[in-house]
Amino acid sequence: MQNEYARSAGEFVRIAANGAIVALFLFPLAWMIAGAFKSEGDLLSPDPVWFFAPVLDHWRFIFANWAVEHHLVNSAIISIATTLATLALGFPAAYGLSRFPLWRKDAILFDILSLKMIPPIASAVPLFILAKQVGLYNTHAVLIILNTAFQLPFTLLVLKSFIDEIPREIDEAARIDGCSALGVMWHAVLPLAVPGIVCCALFVFIFTWNEFLLANVMVGGEQRPLPPIVGLALTHRGILWGPALALGVVVIAPVLALSLMLSRYMTRGLTFGAVKG
Amino acid sequence: MKLPRVRQNLLGAVFVGPAFCYIMLVVIYPLLYSLWASFTNMRLTSPITSFVGLDTYAQALSSEIFQESLIVTAVFLVCVVALEFILGFALAYSFSRMTRTHPVMRSLLLLPVMATPVSVGLVWKLMLNSEFGILAGWGRAFGASGILWLSDPTLALVSVVIMDVWQWTPFMFLILLAGLEGLPKEPVESAQVDGANRWQILLFITLPMMRRIIVIAVVFRLMFAIATFDTVYVLTKGGPARATDLITLFIQREGFVNLNIASASAVSFLVLIAVLVVTTILFKRDLADAK
């Protein structure tokens, strides 16, 4: 009896301690959201202000001066188009990798992973020059094309790990029913791979939405998505802290919402299918 | 009902082909272009480009700014990967000892990993500000006033490490927790019967059984850490006095500020080779084990 009491007390302490650590990790995000609603005086006060009357000044400022709604639409167009293009190219390829005996398949899988490990900065310079040469510089298309390429290795590996789990008997049955190879993929495998497709779609959307490096050099002015605009707020004759934070919140809000939907597949996504959580 | 093997290979190629060609065109071709550029003296400021062989590499390697950037990068990588592994493992171990899984706590903990890097850099820039940042405020409360988090060279690197540890410890946590939960219970139980204490069990049973997952977690983190750019670009832009000038920021500056395409390409290739060597050596065997 006493032992059980001690055990549940121990469990309570562990929940409290781990909960406190989780809260600590969430603090900077909460501090940013709070900061976006603080008045200039509260925000720049030397002593941290915990209780304040929320104001909307910074929000009015960013919509009035930085055309945030316009760049928000840019971000949405680029991210959605990239997600669709990545899935359209990635799903058949992942299916092929999962089901067919390709030449040197293990080497191919490793090369796909290596591709993902290339730091994007390593290809940013040549991509910039080539984009100018083919006349795609400063268009949404260039960001969609490049982000699709950079997200494809991820999509291939994660989707393959999902398709690997669908029993091959499904394929056989569909083939006996008279489906072509394409029909098997479309009518038999695709419906069962929906969780994997949703998982990849959310990840690709978030990664593309967050992308800053290419967006910062490939497009300018009207065409820019949100992240480079945040960068702009920082160098604009010192830092306009309030509007910068409000902008930071605008960028991060959809990401936080979508991330929470992903929790079940987080482990698998973040390790490209190498670890199934 | 089995199709002949050649036909299967062909069909596979049809499915994989479009994605393969796309990656070749958009990722591999530019890299080859950049490899070519690294053997020239290409600059966007001069119209004449000529072949110079390995000169650009020699210049880059002997440049003091490049060497300092390499050292900063190495210090950063060692610090963040070590700290994130230790903290992530401790946290995962602590979570694995709870009787229930608490999925809400887990998903909340993952928010820093997914958070937009520019926003992350921004909020840490605010919190580390020496006049009105909350860390300076707490410092004053404990009698340590005037800590110049972002203007002192050493502290600036510490700041960058703190920010990265905050952002990526949950990543280590998640993978290591998945590893801990996948372990068989019997070895630990029989060690307990044999009278091993908690530390002995952790060191001699749990950690060795986690080998593969630890390698995956550390190598993935190392590779992503090499690519760190956005957060540091916003937080310090490599300063003060290049104290936080990671190799990625160096390449960005060479390519897009100094417009020295040859030099940026050469350094990119050195990084690329380092990355591929590390992944191949550390990873190929453990990844193959998984299949």
Question: How far apart, in whole angstroms, are the C-alpha atoms of residue B2 and residue B270?
Answer: 47
Q: Which of B1, B31, B95 sits opposite A123 (nearest CB)?
A: B31
Q: Using an 8 Å Cβ cutoff, are A163 and A94 in contact? A: yes
Q: Which of A115, A117, A217 sits opposite B23 (nearest CB)?
A: A115
Q: How high is the pLDDT of residue A107?
A: 77
pLDDT at B196 over 90: no
Size of interface A-B (CB pairs under 8 A): 297
Mutate to test the interface with B, among A111, A117, A219, A245 (most CBs of B within 10 A): A117
pLDDT in tens, B129-167: 877 888 887 877 777 777 788 888 888 999 999 999 999
Task: Find the mean pLDDT for residues B62-67.
Answer: 88
Q: Is A182 a member of any domain? A: yes
Q: Are residues A90 and A221 in the same domain?
A: yes
Task: Find the mean pLDDT for residues A55-84.
Answer: 90
What percentage of chain A carries pLDDT values higher than 90?
Answer: 30
Q: Is B261 within 8 Å of A129 when comparing Cβ atoms?
A: yes
Q: Are residues A187 and A239 in the same domain?
A: yes
Q: Are residues A248 and A183 in the same domain?
A: yes
Mutate to test the interface with B, among A121, A164, A259 (most CBs of B within 10 A): A121
C-alpha distances in Å from residue B286, one per residue of A171, A275, B82, B119, B212: 30, 12, 20, 35, 6
Tokens 């502290």 correspond to what residue?
B155
Q: In angstroms, what separates the C-alpha of A24 from chain B's closest C-alpha? A: 9
Q: How high is the pLDDT of residue B284?
A: 66
Please report the ipTM that was assigned to this predicted complex: 0.88
Residue of B nearest to A104 (CA): B9
Q: How high is the pLDDT of residue A235?
A: 62
Task: Find the mean pLDDT for residues A104-120.
Answer: 79
pLDDT at A1 over 80: no
Question: How far apart, in whole angstroms, are the C-alpha atoms of residue A60 and residue A207?
Answer: 28
pLDDT at B128 over 70: yes
**Average pLDDT value for chain A:** 86
Q: How high is the pLDDT of residue A57?
A: 86
Tell me the residue range of the domain where A8 lies: 2-36
Question: How far apart, in whole angstroms, are the C-alpha atoms of residue B66 and residue A246?
Answer: 36
Q: Are residues A155 and A238 in the same domain?
A: yes
Q: Are residues A79 and A19 in the same domain?
A: no
Q: Is B107 within 8 Å of A259 when comparing Cβ atoms?
A: yes
Q: In angstroms, what separates the C-alpha of A138 from chain B's closest C-alpha? A: 15
Q: In angstroms, what separates the C-alpha of B120 from chain A's closest C-alpha? A: 8
Is the CB of B142 inside 8 Å of chain A's CB atoms?
no
What percentage of chain B carries pLDDT values higher than 70?
Answer: 96
Q: Are residues A67 and A29 in the same domain?
A: no
Q: Are residues A221 and A179 in the same domain?
A: yes
Q: Is A144 a member of any domain? A: yes
Q: How high is the pLDDT of residue A8?
A: 80
pLDDT in tens, A22-37: 999 999 999 999 988 9
Q: Which of B102, B174, B252 sits opposite A266 (nearest CB)?
A: B174
Q: How high is the pLDDT of residue B77?
A: 94
CATH number for the domain that contains residue A176: 1.10.3720.10
For chain B, the DSSP string reads -PPPHHHHHHHHHHHHHHHHHHHIIIIIHHHHHHHHHHTBT--TT-S---B-TTHHHHHHHH-HHHHHHHHHHHHHHHHHHHHHHHHHHHHHHHHHTSSS--HHHHHHHTHHHHS-HHHHHHHHHHHT-TTT-HHHHHHHHTT-----TTTSHHHHHHHHHHHHHHHHHHHHHHHHHHHHHHS-SHHHHHHHHTT--HHHHIIIIIHHHTHHHHHHHHHHHHHHHHT--HHHHHHTTT-STTTT--HHHHHHIIIIIS--HHHHHHHHHHHHHHHHHHHHHHHHHHHHHH-
Listed residue (B173, B251, B255, B179) closest to B212, CA to CA: B179
Give A 129-158 residues with CB within 8 A of chain B.
129-130, 145-146, 148-150, 152-153, 156
Where residue A254 falls among pLDDT bands split at 50, 70, 90?
Answer: very high
Q: Is B220 within 8 Å of A271 when comparing Cβ atoms?
A: yes
Listed residue (A256, A266, A263) closest to B175, CA to CA: A266
Is the CB of B227 inside 8 Å of chain A's CB atoms?
yes
Q: Is A210 within 8 Å of B18 when comparing Cβ atoms?
A: no
Q: Where are the domains of chain B?
A: 56-286
Q: In angstroms, what separates the C-alpha of B186 from chain A's closest C-alpha? A: 21
Mutate to test the interface with A, among B40, B107, B119 (most CBs of A within 10 A): B119
Q: Is A53 a member of any domain? A: no
Number of domains chain A contains: 2
Q: Are residues A139 and A264 in the same domain?
A: yes
Question: How far apart, in whole angstroms, are the C-alpha atoms of residue A135 and residue A145?
Answer: 13
**Average pLDDT value for chain B:** 86
Residue of A nearest to B5 (CA): A101
Residue type, A68: V
Q: How high is the pLDDT of residue B1?
A: 45
Q: Are residues A13 and A77 in the same domain?
A: no
Q: Are residues A100 and A235 in the same domain?
A: yes
pLDDT at B15 over 80: yes
Residues on chain A touching B14 (C-beta within 8 angstroms): 96, 181
Q: Is A25 within 8 Å of B103 when comparing Cβ atoms?
A: no
Question: How far apart, in whole angstroms, are the C-alpha atoms of residue A115 and residue A94?
Answer: 15
Q: Are residues A67 and A191 in the same domain?
A: yes
pLDDT at B213 over 90: no
Q: How high is the pLDDT of residue B51?
A: 80
Q: Is A213 within 8 Å of B252 when comparing Cβ atoms?
A: yes
Mutate to test the interface with B, among A47, A104, A125 (most CBs of B within 10 A): A125
Contacts of A203 (CB under 8 A, 6+ apart): A154, A158, A262, A269
Q: Are residues A74 and A183 in the same domain?
A: yes
* A113's tokens: 């992973």
Q: Is A106 within 8 Å of B30 when comparing Cβ atoms?
A: no
Out of A195-199, B47-51, B218-222, B261-265, pick the least confident: B47-51
Write out the CATH class of domain B56-286: mainly alpha
- Look up residue A49 and give its DSSP letter: P
Is the CB of A176 inside 8 Å of chain B's CB atoms?
yes
- Cα dihedral sign for A145, A149, A150, A151? positive
What percentage of chain A carries pLDDT values higher than 70?
Answer: 97
pLDDT at A102 over 80: no
